Structure 1
Amino acid sequence: MDQIEISVIMTVKNGAKFLESSLSSVFYQTYSPQEVVIVNDGSDDDTWEVLKRLRRSAPFPVKLVNTQGIGRSRALNLAVSHTRHQWLANIDADDKWLPEKLEQQVAAVSLFPDAELVVTASQIVHGEGEGELNAKGVFSATPMARESFYVRNPINHSSVLFTRRFLDQVGGYDEALVRQVDIDLWVRALRKGYIFYRVNLPLTIKRLHDGQSYEVGNRLGYTFNSFKIGMKKLWQLKAPFYYFPVPFVKFIYNNIPRSIRHRLTR
């Protein structure tokens, strides 16, 4: 198959603390992307200065776009509008990739030529640690059924690699939404009949930390919004009725302080 050319997108607001870790993981991929487009969405910390410094050490072009704060969905669509290539990979500013992440996803595209969206499994890191930079196991890639979405969102937004055509046909990110814009995109794609593929190795690191929105005085609003999205998702995907209590149970659980939840899941 032809060489896949990839544009990486990132949106960031007040993410200076993790930018070096996140962008370094993009810069040192074994399958190099062609560019990175970063939208600074109204940061009032050192984000802009850090981005300019890191751009100087990048091994490929990094385009920086500055806004006064337009919101997550609009920032994502803006980032996409500045890209030049047909394959797009998102990474959140506080997450990171293992070095083989893009290489393994490109291998999955070779196995499934009809693929429009390929994700990877993820590792979870709590706090400011770096996580274990390894993914043991043998490469495999499998389709994801819509049943995978009934209980949770099985896709880490930082793990996605998708085509521009996919995004255009689904309608892009919904700019009316302020939170959890990714699951809305997946549901719309599933309803249109798209098949997602998953590389079954944890090649993306998802960071959970106290600086995230629902831990900064807005946990109740965030989790209530999750509850509404969960109910809407089940309705739109025509899930069996016995899944409908799940969003309520998750709403209760997610309002337990994160430190306690972390201990409960050890």
Structure 2
Amino acid sequence: MKVSIIMPSYNSAATIGKSIESVLEQSYKDWELIISDDCSNDDIVSVVKVYQDQGYDIKLLRNDDNLGSGPTRNRAISIASGKYIAFLDSDDLWLPNKLSIQITYMKENDIAFSFTSYRKFDFQGQRGEHIVSSKVTYKQLLKSNPIGCLTVVYDCEKIGKCYMPALRRKQDYALWLNILDKYDIDAFGIPEVLAEYCCSGGVTSNKLDVIKDQWRFYRNHLKFGFVRSTYYFFFYATSGLKKYLK
């Protein structure tokens, strides 16, 4: 029941140590950590080597060119050997019982795709919690994305290895939609807070860009017509956007 943890990194030498330690502190011990570095120019290799030298199952891949987080995650997924795929970015954290609770929940309920609630933090401290519902359907996911990438686990034995589209933004959201649509399944949420999301800076910090990206996502990636895009964008603007404005 090994879990393959996919961790993309880019110039994250200052934060990745704490992210790795949150994996080491998991009560669930059957895991491998695959760090896929997107052509960083900091000292991330030395940071990761400290943990590798302690005998932990940690692999480090390095891109020759900067490819973006989607292709970078996909490199790690391609060599993953676990039954389950999980995601954790190099500035985010897991609570110690995250994997234990989530894998038990998936096994007991025969679930292929799950996610959890999480809390947000920045350099000034905590910034509130994002509590999820118990189930999200494909149509509901089109209206807003309550699924935090750092909380997702999917079962490779049930749906195979699933890869992120080569998008600079919303590649995780695109993958969730692809999985739910292709395999005709729902995403099941655990309301308990099991992860901590760093919301300092990054691509989600500019609210106007988020709005524009969502419209382009409907029109350019999903290839929705104007009317259908407007329909889903209305729900996104009135509900899904709330989590970015908190």
Identify the residue that residue 98 of structure 2 maps to in structure 1.
Answer: 101
Q: 1:116 aligns with which of 107, 112, 115?
A: 112
Distance 2:63 2:124 in 1: 27
For residues 105-146 of structure 1, the C-alpha deviation after alignment (integer angstroms, 9 at most, x for no partner) is: 112123212x111111111113364x59xx9xxxxx943333
For residues 143-164 of structure 1, the C-alpha deviation after alignment (integer angstroms, 9 at most, x for no partner) is: 3333542442111101111122
Identify the residue that residue 156 of structure 2 maps to in structure 1.
Answer: 164
Contact between 1:226 and 1:251, CA under 8 Å: does it hold in 2? no
Q: 1:197 to 1:246 in 2, by over 3 A?
A: closer
Instruction: Give the residue type in structure 2 aligned to 1:198.
Output: G
Query: SS at 2:11's partner residue?
Result: coil
Q: 1:166 to 1:79 in 2, by over 3 A?
A: farther
Q: 1:81 to 1:208 in 2, by over 3 A?
A: same
Identify the residue that residue 62 of structure 2 maps to in structure 1.
Answer: 66
Distance 1:240 1:214 in 2: 21
TM-score, structure 2 normalization: 0.82
Instruction: Give the residue type in structure 2 aligned to 1:106.
Output: I
Identify the residue that residue 138 of structure 1 maps to in structure 2.
Answer: none
1:224 aligns with 2:216: no
Distance 1:198 1:43 in 2: 34
What displacement does 1:90 show?
0.9
Q: 2:185 aligns with which of 187, 190, 194?
A: 194
Question: How many residues of Structure 1 are paired with residues of Structure 2 in the alignment?
Answer: 240
Instruction: Give the residue type in structure 2 aligned to 1:30.
Output: S
Q: Which runs of 5+ in 2 are unaligned?
A: none
What displacement does 1:184 show?
0.5
For residues 44-81 of structure 1, the C-alpha deviation after alignment (integer angstroms, 9 at most, x for no partner) is: 122222222233346x3111111122222211111012
Q: Percent identity?
A: 22
1:19 aligns with 2:16: yes
Q: 1:252 to 1:64 in 2, by over 3 A?
A: closer
Contact between 1:227 and 1:247, CA under 8 Å: does it hold in 2? no
Contact between 1:91 and 1:159, CA under 8 Å: does it hold in 2? yes
Distance 1:40 1:207 in 2: 18
Q: Which moves more between the two structures, 78-87 or 226-235? A: 226-235
Q: 1:241 to 1:180 in 2, by over 3 A?
A: closer
Identify the residue that residue 184 of structure 1 maps to in structure 2.
Answer: 174
Query: SS at 1:16's partner residue?
Result: coil
Q: Which runs of 5+ in 1 are unaligned?
A: 136-140
Contact between 1:21 and 1:96, CA under 8 Å: does it hold in 2? yes
RMSD: 3.5
Instruction: Give the residue type in structure 1 aligned to 2:178.
Output: R
1:245 aligns with 2:234: yes
